[in-house]
Amino acid sequence: MNYNINKVVNLTTLETMEFLNGYDLETNLISAIICNQGNSHNLLDDDYREQITKEADSRYITSKNGQLKVYSPTFDMVSYKNI
């Protein structure tokens, strides 16, 4: 399994979370949203994750330097690979 360091930033509070795992950007974004809401006990609850995923309305975007990011306008959070 390849491990990546992904950062998730809350653009409102500038709080940053780092994830060292093999998951994709969107999965880490959803995990950060769940933790940010104080619901970390629901991290492994697939039904709850699906609900947050729909609510997050996340979309892949490309930055000016070509870096792929995932952004959630609902929660104003962005996930990207830490280079």
All structural domains of the chain with their residue ranges: 4-81
Per-residue confidence at 3, pLDDT binned at 50, 70, 90? confident
d(CA 11, CA 46): 26
Cα within 13 Å of Cα(42), Cβ side: 16
Q: Identify the helix (H) or strand (E) that includes residue 59.
A: strand 59-62
Name residue, tokens 């992904």: 6
Measuring CA to CA, which residue among 4, 10, 15, 3 is closest to residue 56? 10
Q: What is the overall mean pLDDT for the chain?
A: 95
Q: Give the residue-averaged pLDDT of 22-50.
A: 94
Q: Are strands 59-62 and 16-21 parallel, antiparallel or unpaired?
A: unpaired
pTM of the shown model: 0.92
Q: How far apart are alpha carbons 33 and 26 in whole angstroms?
A: 10
